Amino acid sequence: MQILDGKALAKKIEENVTNEVAKLKAETDLTPGLAVILVGQDPASQAYVNMKKKACDRVGFYSVTHEMPQDISQDAIENTITMMNQNPNIDGILVQLPLPPQIDTTKILELVDPAKDVDGFHPYNVGRLVTNLDGFVPCTPLGVMELLSEYNIDVKGKNCCVVGASNIVGKPMAALLLNADATVEVCHIFTDDLKKHTLNADIILVGVGVINLIKEDMVKDGAIIVDIGINRADNGKLVGDVDFANVSPKCSYITPVPGGVGPMTIAMLLSNTLKAAKLNAQKKR
């Protein structure tokens, strides 16, 4: 069994982004800029935004966080996004989800300029992903593809079972795998007999948010396991959706939690923002 080390690859990608940022600054005098919109006091959202900000600082991006109270109005968020859309110093806009119930999240995500949509959540970019055209791809599934590629794991023709079908994880994961010529099954809360599907898979990619959902009897020998889940166990430790201790001996490769997909998500946010900055730099010339 070999560990798919997301932490190590993320570090490599960060170094590469740092060099590219220095080059961009030297050639164009432009610094990539990321604006983050954070609503409310949710500790997990605050922690994620903090990690993203620190990563931006490390690679030399300009970043700004717009912190807003939980009872913020739709108009106030929309006004901020419109301002960020027009701000030439901002290349990427990220709206930390979830937003409070009074907010129409779809309307907010649709307002982000698709050229600054570094999270890849705008329906324009979703459409480009599904039709296998270049655009911005959601960071978590993009990070998974990078991680598989780093270990020379070619998904072409492989049976891939994606467990979890959200717009930010499961669906874009399935689209990327399909674009890479995998045979893809997508399972979710209403899937009957999950084990029947996972047992058939060469690669299982699970992003659900249920501790120990994937157990050893659900995995065939030699399978590759990508654990996208992030959960807080009773003892306070971060764990994924896979029973790592019992499943890992059966696998050929597996991602740890933490240190697998999580760091790759941040690395892909950096590389998406750099991509946006380069495209915007071309427009400014």
Binding residues for NADP(+): 164-166, 189, 230
Question: Is 210 a residue that touches ligand NAD (CB under 6 A)?
Answer: yes
Residue of 155, 182, 228, 239 that binds ligand NAD (CB under 6 A): 228
Between the alpha carbon of residue 170 and those of residues 6, 162, 204, 217, the distances in Å are 19, 6, 12, 22
Stretch that binds ligand NAD, among 29-37, 119-127, 145-153, 207-215 (CB under 6 A): 207-215
13 vs 30, beta carbon nearer ligand NAD: 13
71 vs 192, beta carbon nearer ligand NAD: 192
DSSP 44: H
The whole-angstrom separation of Cα 174 and Cα 88 is 34
Q: Least CB distance from residue 263 to ligand NAD, whole Å?
A: 8
Question: Is 255 a residue that touches ligand NAD (CB under 6 A)?
Answer: no
Question: Is 168 a residue that touches ligand NAD (CB under 6 A)?
Answer: yes
Question: Is 189 a residue that touches ligand NAD (CB under 6 A)?
Answer: yes
Give the three-class secondary structure for 101. Answer: coil
Question: Is 187 a residue that touches ligand NAD (CB under 6 A)?
Answer: yes
> Which tokens belong to 155?
């998904």
The whole-angstrom separation of Cα 267 and Cα 277 is 15
> Residue 175, CB half-sphere, CA atoms under 13 Å: how many?
24
Question: Is 198 a residue that touches ligand NAD (CB under 6 A)?
Answer: no
Residues 85-144 that bind ligand NAD (CB under 6 A): 140
Q: Least CB distance from residue 159 to ligand NAD, whole Å?
A: 17
The whole-angstrom separation of Cα 245 and Cα 208 is 19
Residues 15-44 that bind ligand NAD (CB under 6 A): none
Stretch that binds ligand NAD, among 106-114, 124-132, 204-212, 267-275 (CB under 6 A): 204-212
Residue corresponding to tokens 């991680």: 147
The whole-angstrom separation of Cα 9 and Cα 15 is 10
Between the alpha carbon of residue 19 and those of residues 23, 54, 60, the distances in Å are 6, 17, 9
Footprint on this chain of ligand NAD (rule: CB under 6 A) = 140, 163-166, 168-170, 187-189, 191, 194, 207-210, 213, 228-231, 261-262, 265
